[in-house]
Structure 1
Amino acid sequence: MKLYNSVGPNPHVVRMFMAERGIDLPKEDIDLMAGENRQAPYTTKNPAGQLPALELDDGSILTEITAICEYLDETQPGDRLMGDTPEARAQNRRWTRWVDLKIVEPLTTAFRAAEGLPMFQDRMRCLPEAADGLKACAQDGLVFLDEQMADGREFVAGKAFGLADILLFCFLAFGSQVGQPLNPDLKHIGNWYARVSQRTSVSA
């Protein structure tokens, strides 16, 4: 297998997941800043131009960070990060999906519509008129999650560290660099973020 890698939070999620799982794969870096992901030869592998992408041994391609991480979790040896029971996996998927829809999607769409507009306006449809509202939506999601974590749980999906935590951490770290910092009033998420920041996998 081989991971097509680049800068940005999406590849960071997969690299951090792999580091947590002890998975080491060959990587091929694609120059996202220069738009290499939007042209051949990369688009012959992945016509959508997304990064990262996982090339399997038979040459087929997996995209979407959740799908890549779940595939690696299910096929590689070691303790599963998604959980060992149907309930644990369902809870991890539930919170991963929730973080993705309520925080990650508005955060990243707002970035492309505002600070990232010069880079993305010629690559995809951007919505500069919606940037402020999207940023507010991401903050609403974080407020809700902070309230949920007031029950004392250690990680997003419960007692065990999982993909939901990795997804949220990588995109909050990204947000802090592009004009969407974590609100210091969100104490529970702030404490969680500080704990996760100490994990060696964050540098992957």
Structure 2
Amino acid sequence: MKFYNSIGPNPRVVAMFMAEKGIEIPEVTIDLRGGENRRVPYCTDVNEAGQTPALELDDGSFLCEITAICEYLEERFPEPPLIGTTAEERAKTRMWARRVDIKICEPLTNGFRYAEGLPLFEPRMRCLPEAAAGLKAIAQDGIAWLDPLIADRDFIAGDRLSLADLMLFTFLDFGVSVGQPIDPAFTHILRWFERMKSRPSATAN
């Protein structure tokens, strides 16, 4: 296998997932700032969507999208489980990963792309700068919704670390670095965030 990595929160989710499992896969670094992901051969031979990360399998085929890659790695390397060992655990992980993605990660990222990241992304994709402030507010609304829900638990999906935690942490950490800090009023999220930041896998990128 081969891991196509770059800067940004999306590939970092997979990097943290692999670090938590102790998986080491040879890497190819893609120059995202330079637009390598949008040029041949990457966008024709690796990922037609022109995005990172991607995982080249042993048969030479490619998997893209962070959830699909992590699901595959979970099946290949089941210990420690980060999606689940039962149908119930897997369903709950997928439910929470989907929730944090839609409510927080997606609007946070697009809020950046359409504002601070506009010079980089405008030549590459349709951007809506007029929507940036609203998208950032939607992400904060998502954090406000989640904050009381994790008051009595250590992790997003319950009492175990899961893909949902890794996904949310990488995007919130990215947000902090691009002008979308976590509101100090969200004390439960901040407690969870600091605990995630202390994990050795948090240094993976």
Shorter-chain TM-score tier = over 0.9
Give the structure 2 partner of residue 31 of structure 1.
31
Amino acid at match of 2:83: M
Give the structure 2 partner of residue 6 of structure 1.
6
| Secondary structure of 2:201's aligned partner | helix
Q: Tell whether the 8 Å contact from 1:81 to 1:163 is kept in structure 2 after alignment.
A: yes
Q: Tell whether the 8 Å contact from 1:74 to 1:80 is kept in structure 2 after alignment.
A: no
| Secondary structure of 2:23's aligned partner | coil
What is the TM-score normalised by the length of structure 2?
0.97
Give the structure 1 partner of residue 49 of structure 2.
48
Aligned length: 203
Give the structure 2 partner of residue 107 of structure 1.
108
- Give me the whole-angstrom Cα distance separating, in 2, the residues matched to 1:158 and 1:190: 17
State the Cα distance separating 1:78 from its structure 2 match.
Answer: 2.3
| Secondary structure of 1:51's aligned partner | coil
Describe the superposition over 1:89-117 as per-residue Cα deviations: whole angstroms up to 9, x where unpaired. Answer: 11000000000000000001111000000
Give the structure 1 partner of residue 155 of structure 2.
155
- Structure 1: tracts of 5 or more residues without a match: none
Describe the superposition over 1:109-159 as per-residue Cα deviations: whole angstroms up to 9, x where unpaired. Answer: 111000000000000011100001000000000000002112x11100000
Describe the superposition over 1:133-186 as per-residue Cα deviations: whole angstroms up to 9, x where unpaired. Answer: 000000000000002112x11100000011000000000100001111111110
- Give me the whole-angstrom Cα distance separating, in 2, the residues matched to 1:197 and 1:22: 18
Q: Percent identity?
A: 61
- Give me the whole-angstrom Cα distance separating, in 2, the residues matched to 1:43 and 1:64: 14
Write out aligned runs for 1:1-204 (5 A): 1-44=1-44, 45-150=46-151, 152-204=152-204
- Choose 74-83 or 188-197, whichever is displaced more: 74-83
Describe the superposition over 1:17-43 as per-residue Cα deviations: whole angstroms up to 9, x where unpaired. Answer: 000011110000000000000001111
Amino acid at match of 1:140: D
- Give me the whole-angstrom Cα distance separating, in 2, the residues matched to 1:99 and 1:67: 16
- Give me the whole-angstrom Cα distance separating, in 2, the residues matched to 1:17 and 1:61: 18
- Give me the whole-angstrom Cα distance separating, in 2, the residues matched to 1:105 and 1:78: 29
- Give me the whole-angstrom Cα distance separating, in 1, the residues matched to 2:87 and 2:73: 17
- Give me the whole-angstrom Cα distance separating, in 2, the residues matched to 1:41 and 1:85: 40
- Give me the whole-angstrom Cα distance separating, in 1, the residues matched to 2:108 and 2:125: 16
State the Cα distance separating 1:47 from its structure 2 match.
Answer: 1.4
What is the TM-score normalised by the length of structure 1?
0.98
